[in-house]
Chain A
Amino acid sequence: MADVQQQYSLPDSRGHFGPYGGIFVSETLMPALEELCAAYEKYRDDAAFIAEFENELKHYVGRPSPIYSARRLSEKLGGAQILLKREDLNHTGAHKVNNCIGQALLAKRMGKPRVIAETGAGQHGVATATVAARYGFECVVYMGSEDVKRQAANVYRMKLLGAEVVPVQSGSKTLKDALNEAMRDWVTNVSNTFYIIGTVAGPHPYPMIVRDFQTVIGKECLKQMPESFGRQPDAVIACVGGGSNAMGIFHPYIPYQNVQLIGVEAAGEGIETGRHAAPLTANAKVGVLHGNRTYLMQDEHGQIIETHSISAGLDYPGVGPEHAWLKDSGRAEYVAVTDEEALDAFHVLCHSEGIIPALESAHALAYAIKIAPRLSRDKLLLVCLSGRGDKDMHTVAERSGIRF
């Protein structure tokens, strides 16, 4: 294609995206990561592995997910056309399952009978519990005790699927602490356990593996856009917490220089209040956490600080290292929208299209709603609707002063 520019081949062999990424773990985990790297190298281009992955995505997840033109919403805004990549229609209701299936197939080939995961809101935990049931793995999910309280329905879903849910009491008792605890489990049980990380963070090779499995989102779009809309979009917009749905839809578009890539972080109560989860937008200091170097929400002494977002899935102090690199290189731009703006977008989509989006995805949508009126009607904005909002009923109702 005319607008395809240079090849992009990051990360390097040690997992670096420029100065970001890498392998920052204690010595005990090094061999486990090397084993995972070797297994992934062996299977990533293996025809049988790819065929099984694609077959599972088609028949178990229900892919490909459609691109839906939100006509009533676009009409109302009177500017650019808003198109939704419907990851909310996947089995388990979000993009998370794409990656879980890929990693489960690796675990199966590596002969690991036990899988573990960390989860914030519970979406990745539910997806992991789902694939564990599907492939017959023992499954333990670590979840901050604060999140266990806030997300009781998802905790029950994981238990229904046969997983053990372990509440984590340390630190801020949220996602980052669940990740610490899952790492501790992995260090201890490394010989029989596969750690299914849910986002494009963690030590190499995780950011690369999770990205690769999620690129099914963007690859489908590359094909669907010309078929249904005659051309590629002008901009691709996705929410960024750790950033897995965004990497999945951005990555295949990186060589298409005419396609703008926009990551939307959680501004929480506002960037200026400090109560947010937007390390890229706020230009947070670069540091090392959870096995990689990236932009991090931290205090002046290098201690990680608590983040704030109405969406539990975006409530993370770091961000995938490839996003850090895309920001610095200028290939993608990162913005943030507040809790209020995301909530407004949530309601607007419910009313105008009959689609209840996840609060995470509502952030991406909110930014599209913000810029669409300023753009001409022939512009196409492709928004990754990463998940459905059923899990957020309680949060949204509470905000509206409703109790069940």
Chain B
Amino acid sequence: MSRTQSTFQRLQTEGRKALIPFITAGDPDGELTVPLMHALVAGGANLIELGVPFSDPMADGPTIQRASERALAKGMSLARVFGIVREFRKNDAITPVVLMGYANPIEAMGFAVFAEAAKEAGVDGVLVVDYPPEECAEFTACVRAAGLDQIFLLAPTSSEQRFRDVALAGSGYLYYVSIKGVTGAAHLDFDEIARRIPRIRAVAGMPVGVGFGIRDAESAKKIGALADAVVIGSRIVEEIEASPRAQVCTNVETFMRGIRTALDELAGVPS
């Protein structure tokens, strides 16, 4: 069983929800990323989405765009991200790591090289924002051959047919984008999410996470009541951006603990 599967299975047994933070590798610098990942886990993360910075992050709002720019300015690259995961794995063999980013750095590296290097480094899954299932069959084959999960997004605008197609192509978990817009935007429509999630679950055959726009314990708890996992990105990146370097890990861990506590209040509550 994969790390991701056993993580979700363990949480389900405990009646708890997965907390999935996102940070950009290399933000604020490469040396701090591994300590930050451990801080995320100490604060209650069950799986980490690690952003691979790209020069043209079309689906991201200003917060994650800036994180990408900071990371690239410090020389972060896909090859160096593997080094970060390898380092993280020395002290954490349990927490799954999913690389999240855009197609072009992977295209430049080559699919097979990427998949092998990711596996070897201890990566568990990959989410490529601008690879819809129908455009990446060859990539998906390489990823599967290496035993990695490929995670796909679903959106409020997606049709029921689309739910089924995407569910067939993906593994690990499905990531439901909770708003029409870019990462970090506001205005969560909980009623809409409450209507959508059961329909996605009916065809998913795997856990469903919700992200984009979740900013605090209250919204995390509301989403946690509906889904298997809560994804928080921009709010954590803001915390990193606003903290003095020496305080980054402590502040992020404190923020995470607040969300974790709120989510665990849901323990045993059926969704």
**Chain A residues close to B by CB (< 8 Å):** 14, 22-28, 30-32, 170-171, 176-177, 180, 183-184, 187-191, 285-291, 293, 296, 298, 300-305
Question: Can you name 11 A-B residue pairings with CB atoms under 8 Å?
Answer: A24-B103, A30-B155, A170-B62, A180-B56, A183-B58, A184-B59, A184-B61, A187-B180, A188-B180, A291-B130, A301-B108
- B135–A23 CB distance below 8 A: yes
Known interface pairs A25-B130, A291-B130, A302-B109; A190-B104 also in contact (CB < 8 Å): no
- Within B18-49, the residues touching A (CB, 8 Å) are none
List B contacts of A14 (CB < 8 A).
Answer: 134-135
Secondary structure dominating the interface of A:
mixed
List B contacts of A183 (CB < 8 A).
Answer: 58
Q: Give B108's nearest chain A residue, CB to CB.
A: A302
- A301–B131 CB distance below 8 A: no
Tally of A-B residue pairs with Cβ under 8 A? 123
List B contacts of A287 (CB < 8 A).
Answer: 103-104, 107-108
- A24–B157 CB distance below 8 A: no
Q: Give A22's nearest chain B residue, CB to CB.
A: B135
Count B interface residues, CB 8 Å.
43
Interchain CA distance A28-B78 in the complex, whole Å: 25
A31 to chain B, nearest CB (A): 4
List A contacts of B185 (CB < 8 A).
Answer: 188
Select which of A27, A189, A296 is within 8 A of B155 by beta carbon: A27
Q: Would you give the 0/1 interface string for B94-111, flagging 1 where the beta carbon is closer than 8 Å to chain A?
A: 000000001111111100
Is B182 part of the contact surface with A, judged by Cβ < 8 Å? yes
Interchain CA distance A28-B154 in the complex, whole Å: 7
List A contacts of B230 (CB < 8 A).
Answer: none
Select which of A171, A286, A288, A305 is within 8 A of B130 by beta carbon: A288
- B157–A32 CB distance below 8 A: yes
- Within B150-185, the residues touching A (CB, 8 Å) are 152-159, 162, 166, 177, 180-182, 185
Interchain CA distance A177-B181 in the complex, whole Å: 17
Interchain CA distance A170-B58 in the complex, whole Å: 11
- B104–A302 CB distance below 8 A: yes
List A contacts of B106 (CB < 8 A).
Answer: 302
- A296–B177 CB distance below 8 A: no
